[in-house]
Amino acid sequence: MPGSIIAGVGMYVPENIYTNNDLTKLMDTSDEWIQERTGIKERRFAHRTNETTATMGIEAAKMAIERAGITAQDIDFIIFATLSPDYYFPGCAVLVQRAMKMKEVGALDVRNQCSGFVYALSVGDQFIRSGMYKNILVIGSEKHSFVLDFNTRSRHISVIFGDGAGAVVLQPSKDDGSGMLSTHLHSDGNDAEMLAMYNPGSHANYWHKDLADFDDAELGEMFESHAMIDKYQNLPVMDGQAVFKKAVLKFPEVIMEALNKNGYQPSDLGLLIPHQANIRISRYVQQKLRLRDDQVYNNIQKYGNTTAASIPIALCEAWQDGRIKKGDLVCMAAFGSGFTWASALMKW
């Protein structure tokens, strides 16, 4: 069966812009440090109460659905990728189904962090190829701001992330050579704790006895405890250098895997849309693959790292800017927490 095409793409970012200088009022950091180490100039933060991961995803979805020339009632499957869901459970996909008054279609949440969108695309593509569904809505959305710690102790994490959403509608290709060529998914759980948020969770220190500094009484109320909050152990953790080292290895590898599988070389790429993790990671990948500037899309400067939303936001902007034309070879690639990494190669 032919692979899927992206029939419509949409995005939504909150109005509130936070520049690097705004962050210097909250923590000991500087515009120079942030730009030099990450490339980020500003990011968007969602309204504390009026915007959620699901509502941002819904706005992006409306745009993608309209551009696909269909209605929400035509959607026959929803896949929602996020690490910052509105509820611990249920997932965000059902909130989309409800808010957009869709039919009682399947609704799946994907928990693969930065590679979440590419994983979700891959799942959607398999359902299109099998003939099971004809109009799949794939959303990546994040409201990181509600869990970021805007204190100097977390500055190496908090300056990186931003909020936003992107969405696409997948449909079967029209047999004109366009569409998804292949997707490639990988993981290595050995470093699962290097970029993570352990709590609240059911682990009770099972994986690493020294993961958290709780006594037995505190462990009794482990899922969500006062001690956890008092000790700041309900916040994300990241070993930035370990993430960096693995990312620069796996990004080129998984892009080359997709190109090799389909008989292409880096020079054939119309556009590479890497997960917007860090401009230095993207530049390293560009150099390694000997890509020209016009072959790589970067917009981390404006939005920071929006995890599962970063690729669909970048895809949407690239398409709006005329950077993707019919027949172009487009590769989306991601690496992130887990670690997991993935690529998707398509003919636009």
Binding site for ligand ACO (CB under 6 A): 29, 33-34, 37-38, 114, 155-156, 159-160, 195, 238, 240-241, 243-244, 247, 275, 277-278, 281, 305, 335-336
Catalytic site residue from 234, 275, 298, 316: 275
Query: Taking CB positions, which residue lies at the least distance from ligand ACO?
Result: 240
Catalytic site residue from 20, 112, 114, 144: 114
Q: What is the 3-state secondary structure (H, E, C) of the chain?
A: CCCEEEEEEEEECCCCEEEHHHHHCCCCCCHHHHHHHHCCCEEECCCCCCCCHHHHHHHHHHHHHHHCCCCHHHCCEEEEECCCCCCCCCCCHHHHHHHCCCCCCEEEEECCHHHHHHHHHHHHHHHHHCCCCCCEEEEEEECHHHCCCCCHHHHHHHCCECCEEEEEEEEECCCCCCEEEEEEEEECHHHCCCEECCCCCCCCCCCCCCCCCCCHHHHHCCCCCHHHHHCCCCCCEECHHHHHHHHHHHHHHHHHHHHHHCCCCHHHCCEEEECCCCHHHHHHHHHHCCCCHHHECCCHHHHCECHHHHHHHHHHHHHHCCCCCCCCEEEEEEEECCCEEEEEEEEC
Cβ of residue 300: shortest distance to ligand ACO, in angstroms? 10
Cβ of residue 183: shortest distance to ligand ACO, in angstroms? 18
Nearer to ligand ACO, 8 or 304 (CB): 304
Nearer to ligand ACO, 68 or 255 (CB): 255
Cβ of residue 204: shortest distance to ligand ACO, in angstroms? 26
Cβ of residue 201: shortest distance to ligand ACO, in angstroms? 19
Nearer to ligand ACO, 81 or 222 (CB): 81
| Known active-site residue 114 | yes
Nearer to ligand ACO, 102 or 243 (CB): 243
Nearer to ligand ACO, 33 or 264 (CB): 33
| Known active-site residue 305 | yes
| Known active-site residue 144 | no
Cβ of residue 110: shortest distance to ligand ACO, in angstroms? 16
Active site residues: 114, 275, 305
